[in-house]
Amino acid sequence: MKKAFLICSLFVCTNLFSQNYTPVDSTSKVHFVIKNSGINTGGDLSGLKGKIHFLPNNVSESHFAVSVSVSTIDTDNGMRDANLKSDEYFDAAKYPEISVGSTKIGKTNKTGEGYYYFTGNLTVKGITKEISFPFQAKAQGDGYEFTSNFQIDRTAFGIGEKNIVLSNVVNVTLSVSTRKD
């Protein structure tokens, strides 16, 4: 009986103090916008998966490791989607995921609760670059919603070539819902 109580207590304590979260793909959004011939063209990626260890009272111990599936690119234009999945752009057959992992999470100097700063490595098409951006974390249910906006240079990751028609700057908007593990 004591052994069963000890095991149950350990399970309850682990779940009460666990700060591990899993992204919920169906309620999350990874959106991008790029200027193409001077017109904003956007799309979404899904297949979000990974692990998030988030400690709002000790952010230096937090870490994120998430990815999306390149084959899910959706710009509401099938021909464009197929072109983006080709080896000229994302090469989905060879590089099926875009991943990001944190190296440092810190607080920002923005007033109010829930504002943090992400520093980590973004890997696209087999190329890894350091990125940094602010984000906000809001408690929701048994998890969090993490939101952010940031920019990347597509050419730094070998996504297409530089040209006068397609901007090098890609605006990325994240809205990642999580559930507690």
pLDDT at 10: 42
CA distance readout (Å), 121 to 42, 132, 150, 166: 23, 9, 14, 25
* Structure confidence by residue, pLDDT tens digits, 128-158: 999 999 999 999 999 999 999 999 999 999 9
The C-alpha atoms of residue 6 and residue 58 are separated, in whole angstroms, by 28
Torsion angles phi and psi, residue 46, rounded to 5: -135, -165
The residue among 156, 175, 178, 155 whose CA lies nearest residue 167 is: 155
Contacts of 48 (CB under 8 A, 6+ apart): 23, 24, 25, 28, 30, 66, 67, 68, 176
What's the confidence (pLDDT) of residue 5? 47
Q: State the Cα–Cα distance between residues 35 and 138, nearest whole angstrom.
A: 31
Predicted local distance difference test score (pLDDT) of residue 3? 53
pLDDT(168) > 90: yes
| Per-residue pLDDT at 109 | 84
pLDDT of residue 16 exceeding 50, the answer is no
Percent of the chain with pLDDT over 70: 90
| pLDDT over threshold 70, residue 39 | yes
Give the integer Cα–Cα distance in Å for 114 and 173: 17
Over residues 42-101, the pLDDT tens digits come to: 999 999 999 999 999 999 999 999 999 999 999 999 999 999 999 999 999 999 999 999
- Is the pTM value of this prediction over 0.95? no
Q: Return phi, psi of residue 25, to 5°.
A: -60, -40
Nearest to 90 by CA among 65, 119, 68: 68
